[in-house]
């Protein structure tokens, strides 16, 4: 399994733990709630769903809403499929939540992990946050060393771009420091303006090396017959 597909499976299981969903609704939630997935397509999601079903972590059910019941006779289509988390899937997701290995500190994986911190135990949250901070501090040190070596050879715009990248990492480190302090003090993050803003930046990919500008979202047309 690739790192990217592993992150997607984790996010799908986490969202379906909240409630069963159609494939189209699930894709929309991945796009809007988890900006890290804003550029992926149906061609990526449905193989993932089929794999999770084959593993016994999800089951497929026919839609049971009034609109779905009318879909087949009126439009010549079968009702949309609803994906539901199984008991085994819930257990697997909880196992994934407890993992704090190096992958949890990487850009895309951290954004997905952070999105489900509300379902994660405090000690695991602390390990992930501290690991992410350590990873970014290492990155920041390398960026500063590189800038010091190449400063004289860079034009003004390239220099400004590198400074912007450093400032983004520094901003996320400050945000992580605040989160770690709050976790240690047992404080609730709700209502924290600075924390909320930084959280959204991180999830949407504007800090710490998450998906870069130029990652153009796909515009696939949803296939209702598949969902």
- Per residue in 6-18, pLDDT (tens digit) is 889 999 999 999 9
Question: What is the rounded CA–CA span in Å between residue 17 and residue 29?
Answer: 13
Asked if pLDDT for residue 116 goes beyond 50, the answer is yes
Binned at pLDDT 50, 70 and 90, residue 200 comes out as very low
State residue 133's pLDDT score.
97
The secondary structure of the chain in percent helix, strand, coil, rounded to multiples of 5, reads: 70, 5, 25
pLDDT reading at 132 higher than 60: yes
The predicted structure's pLDDT at residue 36: 61
| Over residues 111-115, mean pLDDT | 90
Nearest to 64 by CA among 56, 54, 72, 76: 72
Q: Which of 50-54, 101-105, 153-157 shows the highest mean pLDDT?
A: 50-54
> 124 is written with which tokens?
């695991």
Residue 57 and residue 70: Cα distance in Å, rounded?
29
Higher pLDDT, 167 or 108: 167
79 pLDDT band, cuts 50/70/90, is: low
**DSSP-assigned states of every residue in 45-65:** HHHHHHHHHHTTSEEEEE--S
Span 124-141, mean pLDDT?
Answer: 96
**What is the end-to-end Cα distance of the chain in Å, rounded?**
24
Residues 40-54 pLDDT 10s: 666 788 999 999 999
- How many angstroms separate the CA atoms of 31 and 34, rounded? 6
d(CA 34, CA 190): 19
Provide the pLDDT for residue 60.
95
* Dihedral angle over CA of 85, 81, 50, 90, nearest 10: 0
Q: Which residue has the tokens 């690739």?
A: 2
Distance CA 5, CA 145 (A): 34
What's the pTM value of the predicted model, to 2 decimals?
0.72
Residue 8's beta-bridge partner residues?
A: none
Alpha-carbon distance of 38 to 108, in angstroms, equals 12
CA distances from 1 to 53, 54, 157 (A): 16, 15, 39
pLDDT bin (cut points 50, 70, 90) of residue 122 is very high
Q: What is the pLDDT, as a whole number, of residue 65?
A: 54
Contact 111, 205 (CB under 8 A): yes
- Are 32 and 210 in contact by the 8 Å Cβ rule? The answer is no
């Amino acid at each position: 399994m690739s790192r990217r597909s592993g992150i997607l499976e984790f996010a799908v299981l986490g969202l379906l733990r909240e409630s069963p969903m159609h494939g189209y609704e699930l894709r929309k939630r991945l796009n809007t709630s988890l900006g890290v997935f804003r550029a992926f397509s149906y061609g990526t999601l449905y193989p993932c769903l089929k794999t999770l079903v084959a593993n016994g972590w999800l089951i497929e059910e026919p839609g049971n809403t009034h609109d779905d019941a009318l879909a087949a006779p009126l439009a010549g289509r079968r009702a949309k499929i609803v994906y539901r988390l199984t008991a085994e899937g819930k257990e697997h997701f909880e196992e994934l939540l407890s993992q704090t290995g190096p992958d949890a500190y990487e850009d895309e994986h951290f954004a997905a992990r952070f999105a489900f911190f509300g379902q994660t135990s405090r000690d695991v949250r602390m390990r992930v946050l501290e690991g992410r901070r350590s990873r970014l501090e290492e990155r920041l040190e390398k960026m500063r060393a590189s800038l010091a070596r190449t400063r004289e050879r860079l034009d003004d715009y390239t220099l400004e771009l590198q400074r912007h990248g450093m400032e983004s990492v520094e901003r996320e480190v400050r945000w992580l420091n605040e989160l770690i302090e709050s976790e240690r003090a047992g404080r609730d993050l709700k209502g924290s303006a600075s924390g909320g803003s930084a959280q959204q930046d991180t999830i949407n990919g504007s800090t710490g090396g998450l998906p870069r500008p130029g990652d153009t979202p796909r515009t696939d047309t949803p296939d209702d017959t598949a969902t």
